[in-house]
Structure 1
Amino acid sequence: MRIVHYRSTNSCNLHHRSSVEIKQLEAFLAVMSAGSITGASRLLDRSQSQVTRLIQELEASLAFSLFDRNGPRITPTPKAIAFHSEAERFLTGIGQLKERAKRILAEDPAPIEIAAIPAFASGLVPLALSVLQEDRLPRDIHLRSISAEAAVQSVLGRTADFCIASLPVEHPGLEVHGLFQSPCVAAVAANDPLAANEVISMGDLAGRCLITMANPFRLRRRVNQALEAANVRPLRITDTNVALTALQLASTGFGIAIVEPATAHGTQVKNVEIRPLDMDIPFLWGIFSAASKPLSETARELIQLIIRVSATRIPRIVAHDPRHIDRVADATFGADPHRQDV
């Protein structure tokens, strides 16, 4: 199969007159995954010379080098790293397109495509899927664990039916199926003296290692504000992009984790205790779909199950009226000093 005039949405655009073949992209992704031409040839069941030739043809089409070669060792160039996600997303889309064509031919129900932040993809969404009646499930379900930003873009790009994302999320092309808020919690090792406390105070973090999230524009921002308000200085701060990793670090006794409640109450990690904090650090999230793309009845039923499971598992959860988005914005960003209430 040949793709003519394929254009990337990133800065690594293909030249207007270039053409790229699927097998060239497959060879590139295989080399990136295996780390070598030899490994890629085994993954693709092709000879090393064939894989090398496909990579060279792709480089010629792209007009930039993908790998730096030092004898038998190869290292991806910065442009290859930037191009990788584009190629991976494109080939994944081609695979799903072929899959859908087969389903249309067989008149099977369409698959459900879900994009969710790790907090929900690792626990609450699987729990909701397990509740959905077997005869209501399509043959194929795709659940992707990705960042909030990527989840929203998946919905807008029509590669996901709906997404679950932490706030802020503001886009006129989205239909809001629910906006929710609940307080973050602390996680400590079971043998930590603080595990005996019913509530962990912000002051308990003084002189201890704090484990929390990395994204400065989402939960981390509110954690920093809480530390500043309590005038608390941890010994050190270790951050990660996945709350489950923070829980696992806390279970070893490495430190105290402040995480969102979806992961804390939706997954099970051994040797860790979850405790409320004495300060409300809000975690805000929502469920969204594309406003111009009607959802199947099964997808809407699954959304309601996710909401129901979340309400059962997450303590002190509050549902916000999407029509009062200003209240959600205040909880997300802090009150707007420039807004004049009427």
Structure 2
Amino acid sequence: MRLRQIEAFRATMNTGTITGAAHMMSVTQPSVSRLIADLEENLGFRLFDRKSSRLQPTEEASRFYQEVERTFAGIDQLEHVAERIRQEQMGLLNVFSTPALSASLLPSIVKKFHETHPKTEVRLDVRVPMEIFRQLQANTGDVAISNHAAELPGVVQEPLINAVFICALPEGHRLAAKEVITPQDLEGETIIGLSSEGPLNWNKIFKTFEDKGVMYHKWLTTQHAETGYAMVAEGIGIGILEPFSARRWSKIGVVIRPLRPKFDFAFSICFSANKARSSIAQDFAQIVREQLKNDPLPFQC
């Protein structure tokens, strides 16, 4: 029994005709007929009965086809694995990132990576943290930068930084004259809320305000810090936001000040626990670490 015979049988089952199978396999109809006849001889039972101009699979053929499909599913998986290996050999790096980090931290890192790996193709996939972790569990990514989460099966999280969040103010706001912002300073102000999604528990910030008796307005909530910065720039309210985007937004209508007491959240470099790390993935992770060391985030002390 040869693989080509099995392919001819499978193609005939899938198309319902010798003609369709021949077209699928890019061979002649007599070639398909010969392959199936040889397979029947090897198996010791008939696979098809001819009724009018159609082929009718026998009961034995239907049972045999189920096993063939299971076998080919494994072959398809091997092809996917081979494709990933070929891509790595050609220099393909699949990077996952959260929306905020993709627009703030990643551009300079990708630029530096390209300078040292000019032949490597980079695919940057932007997703929310829990979706990033699901992709790593499925072994579809090489490296990711995300908020740190509780221990997850199939995911390795290496600590990157505990980022201290900053206070973002509209230009001309009364609090822009202060060097440091405290919760009491925000009394009566509109605070742009961030949805408590994924591993970041944004609510701990607002609970602290409430515990201190600070009364504020919160009528606008968004799940992305970049949107929060844009709303601050428009003068809608004040944001307690991630610091990665702070310098860029300070050039386009946002005043950045430290908030005390500090609120910090952990970020990590992540890998799949079930996939060997490529050298280019490790190089990329090292550039990320060096970037944060050489260009520290604002107001982290």
Name the TM-score class by shorter chain.
Answer: 0.5 to 0.7
TM-score by length of 1: 0.58
Per-residue deviation, residues 247-304 of structure 1 (Å, max 9, x unmatched): 1100111100111112324666501111100221112111110122122212111111
Deviation string for 1:219-242 (max 9, x for gaps)? 412212321232212122422111
Percent identity between matched residues is 23
How far 1:110 sits from its partner (Å)?
A: 3.4
Give the distance between the partners of 2:114 and 2:288, measured in 1 at CA: 14
Change (3 A) 1:218 1:288: same
The answer (yes or no) to whether the contact 1:116–1:164 under 8 Å persists in 2 is yes
CA contact (8 A) 2:114 2:120 kept: no
CA distance in structure 1 between the partners assigned to 2:110 and 2:156 by the alignment: 22
Q: Which of the residues 191, 196, 199 maps onto 1:210?
A: 191
User: Is structure 2 residue 266 aligned with structure 1 residue 281?
Assistant: no
Which of 240, 249, 265 is matched with 2:222 structurally? 240
For residue 105 of structure 2, give the secondary structure of its aligned residue in structure 1. helix
In the other structure, the counterpart of 2:90 is 109
CA contact under 8 A between 2:97 and 2:145: conserved in structure 1? Answer: yes
Evaluate the alpha carbon distance shift between residue 302 and residue 284 of structure 1 in structure 2; reply closer, same or farther with a 3 A threshold.
Answer: same
User: Residue 5 of structure 1 aligns with which residue?
Assistant: none
Residue 13 (structure 1) aligns with: none
Query: Distance in 1 between the 2:181 and 2:210 partners?
Result: 17
Distance in structure 1 (CA, Å) of the matches to 2:299 and 2:280 = 28
- Once the two structures are TM-superposed, the CA of residue 103 in structure 1 deviates from its matched residue by 8.9
Letter in 1 for 2:174: P
Q: Distance in 2 between matches of 1:202 and 1:239?
A: 19
Give 1:176 shift: 2.8
Partner of 1:130: 111
Partner residue in 1 for 2:212: 230
Post-superposition offset of 1:148: 0.7
- Between the aligned partners of 1:134 and 1:179, the Cα distance in structure 2 is 23
Matches within 5 A, 1:8-87: none
CA drift of 1:153 comes to: 0.9
Alpha-carbon offset, residue 182 of structure 1: 2.4
1:316 Cα offset (Å): 5.9
5+ residue gaps, structure 1, are 1-96, 319-342
Residue 92 of structure 2 is aligned to residue 119 of structure 1: no
Deviation of 1:119 (Å): 2.0
| Secondary structure, aligned partner of 1:236 | coil
The 8 Å contact of residues 229 and 249 in structure 2, kept in 1 or not, is answered as: no
What's the Cα RMSD here?
2.8
Deviation of 1:306 (Å): 1.1
Question: Alignment length, in residue pairs?
Answer: 221
Tell which structure's C-alpha radius of gyration is larger: 2
Tell me which amino acid in the other structure corresponds to 1:305.
I
Q: 1:298 aligns with which of 271, 280, 283?
A: 280
Q: CA deviation at 1:195?
A: 1.4
Q: Is contact 2:228–2:241 with CA below 8 Å preserved after alignment?
A: yes
1:261 paired to 2:261: no
* Conservation of the 8 A alpha-carbon contact between 1:132 and 1:302: yes
